[in-house]
A = this chain, B = another copy of it.
Amino acid sequence: MELHDCLRLRRDTRHFLAEAVPEAALDKAFAAAHHAPSVGLSEPWRFVRVLSADKRAALYQNYCTAAENGDKSSLSPERRALLKSLKLEAIKDAPELIGVFCERPIAGSYTIGVQGTQDALVWSCVCAVQNFWLSLTAQGYSAGWVTILDLSLLSNLLGTSPAWEPLGLLCVGRPADHYGGIPMLEQVGWKTRSAKPVVVQV
């Protein structure tokens, strides 16, 4: 798929068909992720494929609690009702569920580029997620990135190293809905995208 078409067609997907994602498609998407830029060639991205139904159920519970706990006091009753009606994740029903983590280099080692901020390591992982997402899109699949979570519990829930910093969950599969070619939050009237990015000159 041509790059700019892919950028335009990529959606944050929360509705998936039940069909399994072929291993070859996942492998290709992980390889795409691995082509992301990484600060100082640190390659800090770590992916956790959740196969355990129990772990998946625990992650869904984590999501439900986080969604419930969010402070919605600034929303009108109408907006609150709209929010409640929205499907914002597919943790239970996506064919694949993948945790994303950032492993920072060993303390005391030197990494080029993290002197301004250690967060540059997380940003590298985010670029890997975006590559993964785009590759899935080009292959006819999609992802939804779930961050409505108590991230501090993710390592424990998945049994991963506490040194891996959790960046959320990716729900992955074949889209059951393309939301009319626009973001679902725009389709349902939650928010409208702006026509152009803010670019100022100095």
Contacts and interface: CB of A to CB of B under 8 A. Distances in A.
Contacts of A47: 197-200
B41 A190 contact: yes
B51 A202 contact: yes
A3 B137 CA distance: 10
A131 B7 contact: yes
Question: What size tier do the contact residues of chain A reach?
Answer: 35 or more
Given A113-B148, A126-B123, A10 B32 contact: no
Contacts of A92: none
A40 B113 contact: no
Interface string A30-44: 111111110111010
In the complex this chain forms, how many copies of it are found?
2
Given A148-B113, A151-B117, A167 B123 contact: yes
Interface in A140-154: 145, 147-151
Residue with the highest number of chain B CB atoms closer than 10 Å, among A31, A114, A147: A147
30 contacts: A1-B3, A2-B3, A4-B28, A4-B135, A7-B35, A10-B35, A30-B196, A30-B197, A36-B130, A37-B130, A37-B145, A40-B191, A41-B190, A43-B197, A47-B197, A48-B201, A49-B200, A50-B202, A51-B202, A55-B202, A67-B115, A72-B110, A83-B112, A88-B113, A112-B185, A115-B148, A116-B151, A116-B168, A123-B123, A126-B130
A147 B110 contact: no
Given A7-B32, A10-B35, A116-B150, A41 B199 contact: no
A116 B34 contact: no
Contacts of A120: 147, 168
Contacts of A46: 197-198, 200
